[in-house]
Amino acid sequence: MKLKNKDILDIESLSAEEIGLILDTAERMREVSRRPVKKVPTLRGKTIILFFHEPSTRTKTSFDIAAKRMSADSISMAASSSSLVKGETLADTALTLEAMNPDIIVMRHSSAGAPHMMAQRVNASVINGGDGMHAHPTQALLDMLTIREKLGSIAGKRVAIIGDIAHSRVARSNINGLTKMGASVVVAGPFTMLPYGVAELGCEVATSVDEAVEGADVVMMLRIQKERQENFLFSSVREYSKNYGLTRERLMRANEGAIVMHPGPMNRGVELTSDIADGPWSVILDQVSNGVAARMALFYLLAGGRDADSD
């Protein structure tokens, strides 16, 4: 089996079988990162461009490490150092990159749909590294990989996603991916941070954090996306933390063996207390490790795997 499309733009376009293939491949890639020599020659001679129009630390670094561990040539390109600051359109930038004949372009952009536009204009595979408030498919994939690693499966699990749902591309991608893989998802947050019609995505909407956490196998906390809000949609950070932050007392409502996740960056004392972030429930650092494996898997399936199929 191989991926049907040349691009990874969102979770909606992936079938449950394709998600399973990516997660299975990522499990094998995870073993590479545990070796003394963390490198395989699979993508030697391939060129991967990391085009990040938005600031990023963990996602960009994760993609870069993933490329290097596959022996690909990784080239970083920021909007501030590109011709976009000189007035070049994104469409012309796409044509310029295509002329350099890269194999994969990883793109993060503040505008929803920008990676889709890029994918229409280049022959290279395009991976969406996050576009506006729309989608973050690789974050959802690494989250699903972590859930499967820690709990054994995704199907049948109850996942509570709590926080700024309205402005979170991570929430949208996870709701789509988790429900597609058989999990039930419940969301909770301030009314001003819940998008209209969110239940139509296939999730349950809880009226409180306590209700959302009750019986959950996974509790995923999201940060307040202040950079995407025109106005702060809650009276104060302190009140937000009191009403929507995860504490040990609230976590006790979850199922025994429940895990706590956070896509980062994490604000201690706001979304969750330090004893939760550093406690035995937390798999936040496992998410970071699995991010490299998930992205290695995508590079392999889009470049190395396709080449192997065509031989």
- Please state the residue numbers annotated as binding site for carbamoyl phosphate: 58-59, 108, 136, 139, 264-265
Query: Cα(263)–Cα(247) distance, rounded to whole angstroms?
Result: 18
Helix %, strand %, coil % of the chain (to 5): 45, 15, 40
For 9-30, the DSSP string reads --STTS-HHHHHHHHHHHHHHH
Distance from C-alpha of 235 to C-alpha of 139, rounded to nearest angstrom: 29
Q: Which residues contact 287 (CB under 8 A, 6 or more apart)?
A: 142, 143, 146, 261, 262, 263, 264
- The answer to whether 119 and 7 are in contact (CB under 8 A) is yes
Annotated binding-site ranges: 58-59, 86, 108, 136, 139, 169, 223, 264-265
Q: What residues are designated binding site for L-aspartate? A: 86, 169, 223
Could you give the CA distance from residue 273 to residue 279 in angstroms, rounded to a whole number? Answer: 10
Whole-angstrom distance, CA of residue 73 vs CA of residue 180: 34
Helix (H, G, I), strand (E, B) or coil at 246: strand
Cβ neighbours of residue 67 closer than 8 Å, sequence gap 6 or more: 43, 48, 50, 73, 74, 299
Q: Is the C-alpha dihedral spanning 53, 56, 61, 66 positive or negative?
A: negative
